[in-house]
Structure 1
C-alpha cells in the first residue's frame, strides 16, 4: 500500500480507498499477507480481450480492404463485447462521401447492421436481457422500437445470414452487416458496409448482403483455421 500511495502521490488512506474500489470491481484482489493487492481476474480478462481485439483488427484489415473494393462502400470491422459492437477498423469507400464514425467506442446494438448481426447469434433470453440494459433509443422513423419487432428482424437475419440498417440509425444512410466467428465457434464480431441510401438500389440489396456475408465467412476462416461456419 505504501508503494501504491507513493506512486500515485496520495495519502495511504486514499490509496486504500482506491484499492478497495478496484477490488470490488474485480480489477484488484486482496492478498492475505499485509495490506497488499494483486491483479484481479477481471483485469486479466480485460487484458485478454484487448489482445483478442488487436489481433482481430490486424487479421481482419486485409479482408476489410477487399470488402470495400468489392462494394465501393465504407467497410468497418466491429468486435463483439457482450452483445455490443465496438468498431476497431474502417476502410473508406471510393465515393466522395466519408462516414467518419469514431473507432473504439461501443455502439447501440438494436439499430446498427453490425449490432443486429451480433444479436442474431444470441439466444432470445440474452437478447431481451441486453436490450433491457441498453434500451432501444429511437433515432429515425425507421428505428425498431420494440423488442418483439427486433426479435422478428433477428429471425430474418438468421435466415439470410446478414443484417440491414435501412435508415434505422441515421436518415439517408444504409448499412449491411454479417457476423464472423472465432476458433471456438463463438461470434467474435461483425463486418459491415455503409453508403448513402440513394446509392443502394433495392434490387442490389440481396447481392450486397451476400457479399458482406462472404467476406465475414472469409474472416471466420482466418480466425478459426476452418471453413466451417457456425452461423445460426
Structure 2
C-alpha cells in the first residue's frame, strides 16, 4: 500500500523544518522494529502495538540546506531525520538523525527495556502516545532548547526524540518532546564532569524535556546511560 501524501504533509508540519517535497522518502515499516520504553519493549511485548502493524517511516534529507535562518542553517549538524509515525494516529512516534559517518562512535544507546528500567528508577513513565498534533513542533522545541537548555542542540552529532505523554516526580501526564543530544562535550560546556565523578560514557550525551504545548524547557539530565 502506498504511503498517503496527507500523512507525509502532517508529519512535515509537526516536524516544523522547512522541507522540499522532493527530499522526502516515505515507506511502510513494521512496528516490531520501532521499540521504545513502556511501549513494545520486546518482540514478546505486544500490549500497545501488534508486531505486524504497519507504521510510516519517512526520511527527510538535505535539511541543512533548506532550513535556513539569516542565510545560515539553524542546526547545521542535522542533515537528515528519520521519522516513524504512530500507526493509530499518524502522529510522530520517534525521530532520529544518523551518527556522522566520519566520526568515531560513542557508546551505543541502550535498548528500550534498559532505558525503561533506568527511567522507572527515576520515577518516570511514558503514560501514553498523544493523539493530537503538538502545539509546539519539533523544530520549535529545538529552538526553545537552544535558548533555555543547558547544552545547545547545535553541538550534537546526533539527535533522537520521542513525542509522548510523560509523568515524573515533578509533574504528571504532560505531552512533551523528549530530545536526546548525543556527541556533545559536557566538560567543554562548563560541566565539571571529571571532578564530579561522572563516568566517561555519561559525558557525551544529554536528555532534554520540552513541553509540547508551551515550548517550556522542563529539565535535562544524562539518562539513560549506556551499558
| TM score, norm. by length of structure 1 | 0.29
Higher helix share: 1
Write 1 or 2 for the structure with the bigger share of strand.
Answer: 2
Q: Structure 2 length as normaliser, TM-score?
A: 0.29
Query: In terms of Rg, which structure is larger?
Result: 1
